[in-house]
Amino acid sequence: MKAVHIFLIFLFIFIFAFFNFGGKGSNFDSIQGNLTLNPKARETFFQNIASNFLPDIASRENPTYVDRKEAVVGKTFSKSVFYKKIVFGSGHNIAAEDPLEEFIVLDVVGDLVLPVRIDGWKIFYEKSDKTYKIPKSIKKTSPVLEEPGETIVSSGDRIVISSGTSPIGQSLKIHKCLGYREQFQNFNPVIKRSCPAPKAEFLQSSTFIDTGNVCRDFVESLPLCTSLRNSESLPASCRDFVQTVFTESGCITRHHNDPDFLLPEWRLFLDQEETLWKESKSVIILLDEHDNLVDTLVY
């Protein structure tokens, strides 16, 4: 017989004997000659048994219960269902003097069952006692101008929230053609240039025209995400091809249906004229739409 089985047998014998033959004391009542635990002692006994043998059972008295509250900087928040699933990440630029260069970072680290809408969530800053709403955004899936819509994030997404204004006038999700914008407009941090390769664009073009390999050689020499404003030295057909295809709008037209067109990164802008997080030793708090706590950043 295993040692654990022997232990359990002795445990139940002990409990049986304790209830039926236990010693005298203030914790016992005498009923028809038998000694039994009084109600208060019985409750204490079973709480001790539960705490020793059932430590993971959740209850409203147990601090692991999902509805528990947490105090932050003198305020008490109920924890969001997204608590620690969307967190302050790394790589913040909080010490910047220019709002165009100041940003904080959120990472979706939890395994979300469904995408989550976060526009309308709030960022509370303890030093100023001010709250800033996460804005709506666009997904640039066509060259035409879009109105901002819901900001919906998924597992694995990274969200950069800048204090200043957007270089394109809108908050947006990064797509693989946005590198053409980076050539002329500065994002902070910089946008990774991940545009389709010029050589592949040339070979896949339905308007393929080979003028003695001049156009092909020229296109293959182009860096990624590079638009040309001066291409007068090229043959007319090649010049038209380059100026049409190698732009953000041309890239979007050709690739907006690609499964990898939208990248797992957002650039959101709070449109503030001054830096927000300049005080040291402070706390920034992320709240959901119900003002429940999602995460905190102490710096």
Domains and CATH numbers, the chain: 3-53 (no CATH), 69-176+261-298 (2.60.40.1260)
Provide the terminal-to-terminal Cα distance of the chain, rounded to the nearest Å. Answer: 57
Neighbour tally for 37: CB within 10 Å: 17
For 7, 13, 26, the CA distances from 21, given in Å and listed in that order, are 20, 11, 15
- In the prediction, which pLDDT does 269 show? 98
Name the percent of the chain lying above pLDDT 70.
74
In the predicted structure, residue 165 carries a pLDDT above the cut 70? yes
Q: Global pTM?
A: 0.74
Judge whether 6 and 14 are in contact, CB under 8 Å: no
In the predicted structure, residue 9 carries a pLDDT above the cut 90? no
Residue 192's pLDDT band (boundaries 50, 70, 90)?
A: confident
Judge whether 181 and 167 are in contact, CB under 8 Å: yes
Mean per-residue pLDDT, 60-79: 64
Residue 82 identity (one-letter amino acid):
F
- In the prediction, which pLDDT does 232 show? 74
Mean per-residue pLDDT, 209-224: 79
- In the prediction, which pLDDT does 266 show? 97
How far apart (Å, rounded) are the C-alpha atoms in residues 234 and 244?
14
- Residue identified by tokens 């209830």 is 19
- In the prediction, which pLDDT does 236 show? 83
Radius of gyration from C-alpha coordinates of the chain = 32
Residue-averaged pLDDT of the chain:
80
